[in-house]
């Protein structure tokens, strides 16, 4: 007999409405959706809790946090991946695109950082193939334009790696995320404990990298995304001119646009905007850029990312539901919309034939409380 799971008497968050009903999962997929509060024999009574599709995360730095739990402390790759995987399952994320930095600084700078992307990708692919992961993992290459080795590192990846996203990131100070140089100074000096002169030398060093490698690295990133069959994303677009350049490159996703003008330009070009859940929850950007809530209120927020706080994804989706007075719409920013943006047609909604990626949660006042997570029909939290 086929192993069957029946989740009954739940508030099902569908694409455009919430209905009381049940979901039946068999063989890793949703086989039935029924209305009504009846709990059939063998069913699990969810007692009116919400049942929603598993969350789809396109950009998270959480794996890097497990790799380096403290400054200058390295953790074994496989142990970090497994801890990251289990943490995400416990926050309702059932599909993740693990962001891996590509591009290193290997010269004598005091802030040098080494290559790790190819080795990390190999570890993710190996533990995935071995069935050691609780949720669905994909790879997102974060291409650091302001680096020394980007083109060489991108060349190490092939279509067989099934890279899902390649994003262009230019963290040169004085523009994009750090248009306010004082914000960059606060961030860098807190991270590296630089003195005044060390900070000035570091900024000059980064300007030099941009002058030497910027154009070449942008071209290498666009070429790699095409060669790998990956979605191409921009990062921290600030002006309409930057968005126009992104569109010309073939960008379909704009991660964390920093101004309303950039978000407006993305909307006009059909580029989906991704904003950070921490920005929404905290009420603003830690870099002083546009608030996610402001973009939501003018209909310029398409997808949410947990960015650096996995638990923030569900919380922010519920907050968006409050802003829009439409919980299904808020949940779509973390389920169906991100899934569609990267071509994952087998997940993202409570529909028959979709993967059995499902989460159960309640809401205490304005805070969602995750109760259970199923990935491909198996309970993982």
* Span 136-168, pLDDT tens digits: 999 999 999 888 899 999 999 999 999 999 999
Overall average pLDDT of the 35-51 stretch: 97
- Name the residue with tokens 């993740």: 96
Q: Tell me, what's the pLDDT at 1?
A: 42
Overall average pLDDT of the 170-196 stretch: 66
Judge whether residue 178 has pLDDT over 90: no
Q: Tell me, what's the pLDDT at 192?
A: 65
Please give the structure tokens belonging to residue 301. Answer: 């927020």
Provide the pLDDT confidence category of residue 275 given band limits of 50, 70 and 90. Answer: very high
**With pLDDT > 70 as the criterion, what percentage of the chain qualifies?**
92
Judge whether residue 31 has pLDDT over 70: yes
For residues 229 and 161, the answer to whether their CB atoms sit within 8 Å is no
Overall average pLDDT of the 194-219 stretch: 79
Overall average pLDDT of the 218-242 stretch: 96
To the nearest 10 degrees (0 to 180), the angle between helices 77-89 and 117-129 is 60
Overall average pLDDT of the 328-349 stretch: 98
Judge whether residue 205 has pLDDT over 50: yes
Q: Tell me, what's the pLDDT at 266?
A: 98
344/210: higher pLDDT = 344
Q: Tell me, what's the pLDDT at 181?
A: 67
Judge whether residue 185 has pLDDT over 70: no
Q: Tell me, what's the pLDDT at 189?
A: 63
Pairing status of strand 29-35 against strand 44-45: unpaired
Say what the pTM is: 0.91
351/185: higher pLDDT = 351
Q: Tell me, what's the pLDDT at 258?
A: 94
Overall average pLDDT of the 283-287 stretch: 83
Q: Tell me, what's the pLDDT at 293?
A: 97
10/172: higher pLDDT = 10
Phi-psi region of 67 (alpha: psi -120 to 50; beta: other; left: phi over 0): alpha
SS3 content of the chain, % helix, strand, coil (to 5): 40, 25, 35
Overall average pLDDT of the 188-211 stretch: 72
CB under 8 Å to 314, separation ≥6 — which residues? 55, 91, 92, 334, 359, 361, 368, 370
Q: Tell me, what's the pLDDT at 107?
A: 79
End-to-end CA distance of the chain: 25
**pLDDT, tens digit, 9 for 90 and up, residues 124-135:** 999 999 999 999
User: What would the CATH number be for the domain defined by 54-348?
Assistant: 3.20.20.140
């Amino acid at each position: 007999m086929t192993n069957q799971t029946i989740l009954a008497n739940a508030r099902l968050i569908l694409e455009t409405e919430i209905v009381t009903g049940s979901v039946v999962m068999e063989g890793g997929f949703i086989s039935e959706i029924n209305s009504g509060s009846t709990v059939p024999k063998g069913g699990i009574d969810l007692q009116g809790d919400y049942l929603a599709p598993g969350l789809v995360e396109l950009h998270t730095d959480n794996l890097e946090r497990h790799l380096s739990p403290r400054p200058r402390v390295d953790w074994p790759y496989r142990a970090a991946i497994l801890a990251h995987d289990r943490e995400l399952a416990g926050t309702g994320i059932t599909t993740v695109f693990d962001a891996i930095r590509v591009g290193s600084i290997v010269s004598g700078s005091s802030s040098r950082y080494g290559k790790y992307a190819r080795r990390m990708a190999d570890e993710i692919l190996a533990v995935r193939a071995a069935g050691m992961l609780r949720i669905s993992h994909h790879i997102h290459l974060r291409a650091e334009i302001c680096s020394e080795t980007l083109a060489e590192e991108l060349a190490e990846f092939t279509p067989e790696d099934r890279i899902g996203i390649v994003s262009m990131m230019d963290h040169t100070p004085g523009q994009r995320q750090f248009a306010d140089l004082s914000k960059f100074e606060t961030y860098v000096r807190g991270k590296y404990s630089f003195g005044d002169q060390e900070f000035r030398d570091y900024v000059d060093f980064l300007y030099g990298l941009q002058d030497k490698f910027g154009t070449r690295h942008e071209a290498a990133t666009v070429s790699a995304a095409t060669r790998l069959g990956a979605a191409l994303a921009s990062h921290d677009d600030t002006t309409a001119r930057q968005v126009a350049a992104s569109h010309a490159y073939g960008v379909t996703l704009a991660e964390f646009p920093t101004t309303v003008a950039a978000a407006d330009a993305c909307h006009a070009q059909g580029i989906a905007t991704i904003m950070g859940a921490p920005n929404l929850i905290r009420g603003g950007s830690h870099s002083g850029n546009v608030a996610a809530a402001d973009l939501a209120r003018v209909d310029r927020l398409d997808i949410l990312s947990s960015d650096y706080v996995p638990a923030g994804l569900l919380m922010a989706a519920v907050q968006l539901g409050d802003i829009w007075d439409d919980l299904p719409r808020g949940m779509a920013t973390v389920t169906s919309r991100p899934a569609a943006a990267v071509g994952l047609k087998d997940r993202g909604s409570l529909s028959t034939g979709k993967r059995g990626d499902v989460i159960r949660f309640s809401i205490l006042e304005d805070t969602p409380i995750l109760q259970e997570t199923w990935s491909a029909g198996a309970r993982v939290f």
